[in-house]
Amino acid sequence: MMDDILQDAVLSYAKSNETIQHFTRFGIPMAALNAIQEHFSSTPMRSIRNAWGSILNLWAQECQKGFWDAFASRKELASAYTRQGHEALQRACAQSFLQWLLYHLNQLRQQKRISSKRLIEVQEAFMQLELIRSITDLRVPALAFANARSLTRQIHLHVGPTNSGKTHGALVTLSRARTGMYAGPLRLLAHEVWERMNQGTISPGIPPRACNLRTGEEVRTVDEYAGLVSCTVEMADVTRPYDVAVIDEIQMIADPQRGFAWTHAVLGLPAKELHLCGEASTVPLIQHLAKLCGDDLHVHNYERLTPLHVAPHSLYGDLGKVQRGDCIVAFKRSTIFRLKEQIEARTGLQCALAYGALPPETKSEQAKLFNAGKLDVMVASDAIGMGLNLRIKRVIFDTLSKWNGTETVPLSLSQIKQIAGRAGRYGTSRDASPHGLVLTRHEDEMDILRAALAAPVRSVTHALIQPSKQKLESLSFLLPRSRPKEAVRNVLQENSMSSLLEEFHAMADLDAGIFAISDFVSQQAISALIEHRGCGLLTHAEKETWSNTPVNVRDERAMAWVGNAIEKYARGELVEFEACAKDLGTLEVEEAVTQIAADAEARRKAAKSTQPLAMWVQQDEAILHVDTLMLLESLHRSLTIYLWLGFRFPLSFCFRHHVAERKRRTEASIEFCLEVIRIRRAQRLTYLGRDEEAKKLLQKHIEKRR
């Protein structure tokens, strides 16, 4: 069956207009292409496009004679096809064709009857294609890290479910090391470890340690000579030696967008001890990587500290059954706010919120209020699956499916297990529960939940890799090369980051049994903006940096802000945040909310009251609603991007201190807006004559602020 699939793939690849156009852009001289055709006694073509079509057909015919001689091992190819589908076969065809072409060009170079002029053309074509093949060779990425390869590292893999304490032991080891690094998936986690190291709260008996912080948009230096650093994975420094390094959430090594950062850290960190913490699904892959690097691997298994059980029944759709200490999980922002309103209306309980668009600082504050019992219920997205330590009695799934940007799809087993595993950290001011419970809102999904939690762990099969900046820049010098007159007019388009990433993705040669290449979705989404607003004034290195800007491409205002910033940077201006945010509506909203808060503070001060500020907002100030919150979240994203750019282009984005202060003010506005939305629920109850319920809500709010 695989033979038939591969034969179809070869014929499809050889006849594809996209394939022919791809090789036409290489700029190989017509004389070299004709020489190859004549080598096979084939009639030379007059156009480069037709010549490439003819040569691809010659390759396809040769493949029919000896299929597996022209490709990687059958086992490896079958494995890649199972995981990546047609894309894996296309990449295999590209590598096979390139090797076949180089072989025959080399034969032509050695012919005695070839003219000097044609020999030069053939030689140039051979050298260019050989350089392209070399640049796109990612089969042994571990060799790129000489410092790490000079060590026989002791890799400790700590695996277990959520709430098993698998990261704790690694952090204790780190806190006792002379030099070390923690690398986490979120700024929130990096910040938490940084705080705990400096405060000495990692574990009883371990004193405070000076630890610096380094994330994409924030650097905090506690001590210039501190031996410890806490960072996000993308910021891990693989050039500096460490005694101990800890990489958290190692299962993210298979994430299509961010996984390459974990692979880069695992392969490249020159640490005597490397501690990897995450799911048991990663064990086979890490065993492969440790063997590839020549390191020693030690696997440590952990069990949950508290048992996790599936509840006998769902809520049967009744939100009135939600209890204190519950966390209900939904996957749309609008659904989260609707659930919050319905739960507060049905139960009189107050809800905390945590979803992806909220600033990390606000999510952390909401988590603290929930853990302290000052808010009763957490309504959250899958953001609770990572980075927030919550004391939850029951996890309730509103649904077991989510929108992936294209369609509604079921949650993966890994997602269900990770979110469900958050149950069972219930405690502090509430009555302690001996175990965690997980259930669904609707009964028809309970069997799916039971099956998912009972299912065995599926192994992570591959690590994501991405070409280095140097490889992309080298490829940009070769693609496009000299080309026909009609293609010269498209040189800017063909040199775009998007087309360059597409070329690399199509040609990359990698060990498909262990590695997969990043999908470049976010980089390609912003590439068109870079080309349009950069006006051809940016270098390749600048384009590459801009393409990695951490912008949510679904946020139109944040994308518009980035476009304005690109244009000002390309013109050589000093980039002011407010100039880029002009006419986007976000600054005006933030200023209006700040003014409302100031007016409320003035009224509270005049009354000499200690009541929460949100209670002094006037009823007619209708700007404080969910849509306002969305605009503030967009503003916060743009401010965060400015800080990120400030560390990469410090001369142009030089107003970091001002922007950092505005970011803090925006976070305060977001929290104020959330409080007002909560207070207005109580005010509506009073208007409806439900005074007792309103009194309870207001009393809870007053207690929350103490």
- At 455, the amino acid letter reads A
pLDDT at 97 over 60: yes
Bridging pattern class, strands 326-329 and 377-380: parallel
Task: Considering only residues 52 and 8, tell me which one the structure prediction assigns the higher pLDDT.
Answer: 52
Residue 312 Cα distances to 192, 198, 315, 380, 411, angstroms = 36, 44, 10, 23, 21
pLDDT interval class at 167 (50, 70, 90): very high
Q: What is the DSSP string of 387-420?
A: S----BSEEEES-SEEE-SSSEEEPPHHHHHHHH
pLDDT tens per residue across span 475-513:
888 876 444 444 444 444 446 888 888 889 888 999 888
Residue 22 Cα distances to 182, 525, 653, angstroms = 42, 20, 37
Q: What is the pLDDT of residue 377?
A: 96
pLDDT at 697 over 80: no
Domains 142-301 and 315-441 fall in the same CATH topology: yes
pLDDT tens per residue across span 214-272:
999 999 999 999 999 999 999 999 999 999 999 999 999 999 999 999 999 999 999 99
Bridging pattern class, strands 296-301 and 308-310: unpaired
pLDDT at 416 over 90: yes
Q: What is the pLDDT of residue 636?
A: 96
Burial profile 234-248: b = 16 or more Cβ within 10 angstroms, e = fewer: bbbebeeebbbbbbb
d(C-alpha 591, C-alpha 602), whole Å: 16
pLDDT interval class at 376 (50, 70, 90): very high
Q: Tell me which of 173-177, 355-359, 382-386, 590-594 is least confident.
A: 382-386
Q: Which of 78-87, 432-441, 686-695 has the highest mean pLDDT?
A: 432-441
Contact criterion met (CB below 8 Å) for 300 and 158: yes
Task: Considering only residues 675 and 578, tell me which one the structure prediction assigns the higher pLDDT.
Answer: 578
Q: Which residue has the tokens 């006792």?
A: 176
Does residue 307 have a cis bond before it (omega within 30 degrees)? no
pLDDT tens per residue across span 284-343:
999 999 999 999 999 999 998 888 999 999 999 999 999 999 999 999 989 999 999 899
Q: What is the pLDDT of residue 85?
A: 74
Mean pLDDT of 389-413: 89
Mean pLDDT of 675-700: 62
pLDDT at 56 over 50: yes
| CATH superfamily to which 142-301 belongs | P-loop containing nucleotide triphosphate hydrolases (3.40.50.300)
Burial zone of 558 (CB within 10 Å; 0-12 exposed, 13-18 middle, 19+ buried):
buried
Instruction: Output the pTM of the full model.
Output: 0.88
Task: Considering only residues 230 and 23, tell me which one the structure prediction assigns the higher pLDDT.
Answer: 230
**Domain limits, the chain:** 2-135, 142-301, 315-441, 586-704
pLDDT at 695 over 50: yes
Residues facing residue 211 across a β-bridge: 228
pLDDT at 648 over 80: yes
Give the whole-number percent of the chain exceeding pLDDT 70.
Answer: 89
Q: Tell me which of 7-16, 400-409, 457-466, 540-549 is least confident.
A: 400-409
Contact criterion met (CB below 8 Å) for 363 and 354: yes
Beta-carbon contacts of residue 499 (< 8 Å; ≥ 6 apart): 493
Q: What is the DSSP string of 582-625?
A: TTSSHHHHHHHHHHHHHHHHHHHHHTT--S-GGGGS-TT-TT-S
Domain 315-441 has CATH 3.40.50.300: yes
Q: Where are the beta strands (DSSP E) in 314-471?
A: 326-329, 351-354, 377-380, 394-397, 401-403, 408-410, 436-440, 463-465
